[in-house]
Amino acid sequence: MNTIHCMDCIEGLRALAPGCARLIFADPPYNLSGAAHRTVQSGKRVVCDKGRWDQIKDVHKFNEQWIEACLHALADDGTLWISGTLHNHPSVGMALKQLNCWIINDVIWFKRNAPPLLSANRLAPSTELIWVASKSKRYYFNYRLAKEINGGKQMRNMWEISATRHVTPHPAEKPVALLERIINIASEPGDLVVDPFTGSGTTAVVAHALGRNFTGFELDENYAAMARKRVADIDIESRINQPAPRQTHDPTAAQIHLLD
Ligand SMILES: C[S@@+](CC[C@H](N)C(=O)[O-])C[C@H]1O[C@@H](n2cnc3c(N)ncnc32)[C@H](O)[C@@H]1O
């Protein structure tokens, strides 16, 4: 099952069955668009404008509301992963604390190929931070698989994954490799993965390819259609190529972690 609803995620998440999602990956508006923010496009400094959706008046209230709605849908042993930059991660961290979440990790995603800083007035931003939280200290996390993915060495909380050329016109498309890693270590085949801010559908595509169920929400009709098409295109490809069944990880490696 892979369903993308064109609707507000707060309403959508509240309507899901309580505790249905093993993993929620959220890539919310970072609130970095508008006259005060600059970015680099084709080597030039321009005002950052990802779209109307990225300009929120009371961003903390918004974060509290959608995170609370996520907690309704999150399984008791599920995890909630939220990406961000300095524009929104203090508010997200505060909201997680206010909602009594257990913060498991802050993953630093390092993009070695991030664009250069043209203003020459600070360090060149090349990271995003991903909060990882749960409802309690008892949550699903496949430590063994994470170690395996990392060549047999314990995986650290700094991930080097280069930004990739976008395959859609969405301005905030995440790399497939990032979602592949998160979905693999935080869910099992057959689990439900939810993405409240589906955008171009990266989470939907990877969840589908890894044999997970998916439910997503997206406000913009064009983006929702784009995301559905990306998932349908995988289906078409797999029917044409008829690939061998994808090897999944050893289910005995699945672990529920109880941390102090
Ligand atoms: C940062 S982008 C997500 C990009 C996505 N991870 C990808 O790989 O394409 C955030 C998306 O959330 C959508 N959005 C913003 N507010 C929303 C809301 N309240 N409910 C549902 N979608 C929303 C925006 O239209 C935008 O496409």
Task: Domains for the chain: give ranges and CATH numbers.
Answer: 2-242 (3.40.50.150)
Q: Helices (DSSP H) in the chain: which residue ranges?
A: 9-15, 59-73, 89-98, 143-149, 176-186, 202-209, 221-241
| Average pLDDT of the residues of the chain | 89
pLDDT tier for residue 244 given thresholds of 50, 70 and 90 = very low
Show Cβ contacts of residue 64 under 8 Å, excluding neighbours closer than 6 positions.
95, 98, 99
CA separation (Å) from 106 to 47, 92, 225, 249? 29, 11, 32, 25
pLDDT tier for residue 52 given thresholds of 50, 70 and 90 = confident
Spacing, Cα 197 to ligand 1 middle (Å): 4
Whether the per-residue pLDDT at 131 is higher than 60: the answer is: yes
Once rounded to an integer, what is the mean pLDDT over residues 121-140?
96
Spacing, Cα 9 to ligand 1 middle (Å): 9
Share of the chain above pLDDT 90, in %: 74
Once rounded to an integer, what is the mean pLDDT over residues 40-61?
77
**Dihedral sign, Cα of residue 13, residue 198, residue 209, residue 183:** negative
Ligand 1, atom 27, lies closest to the CA of 199
Whether the per-residue pLDDT at 115 is higher than 60: the answer is: yes
Q: Which of 61, 215, 219, 229 to mutate to test the pocket of ligand 1 (most atoms within 8 A of CB)?
A: 219
Judged on CB neighbours under 10 Å (0-12, 13-18, 19+), 68 is middle
Q: How far apart are CA 139 and CA 105, in angstroms?
A: 12
82: β partners: 26, 131
Q: How far apart are CA 157 and CA 26, in angstroms?
A: 18
Alpha-carbon 175 to chain mean position: 10
Q: Phi first, then psi: what are they for 100, rounded to 5°?
A: 60, 35
Judged on CB neighbours under 10 Å (0-12, 13-18, 19+), 23 is buried
Its pTM stands at 0.88
**Residue for token pair 């505790």:** 19
- Tens of pLDDT along 204-234? 999 999 999 999 999 999 999 999 999 999 8
Whether the per-residue pLDDT at 73 is higher than 90: the answer is: yes
Q: Which of 27, 197, 228 to mutate to test the pocket of ligand 1 (most atoms within 8 A of CB)?
A: 197
Spacing, Cα 8 to ligand 1 middle (Å): 10
Under a CB-based contact definition with an 8 Å cutoff, are residues 88 and 109 in contact? no
Residues with beta carbon inside 6 Å of ligand 1? 8-9, 27, 29, 53, 170, 172-174, 197, 199-200, 202, 217-220, 223
- Tens of pLDDT along 149-196? 999 999 999 999 998 889 999 999 999 999 999 999 999 999 999 999
| Secondary structure letter of residue 173 according to DSSP | P
pLDDT tier for residue 239 given thresholds of 50, 70 and 90 = low
Under a CB-based contact definition with an 8 Å cutoff, are residues 131 and 81 in contact? yes
Spacing, Cα 222 to ligand 1 middle (Å): 12
CB atoms within 10 A of CB 22: 23
Ligand 1, atom 7, lies closest to the CA of 173
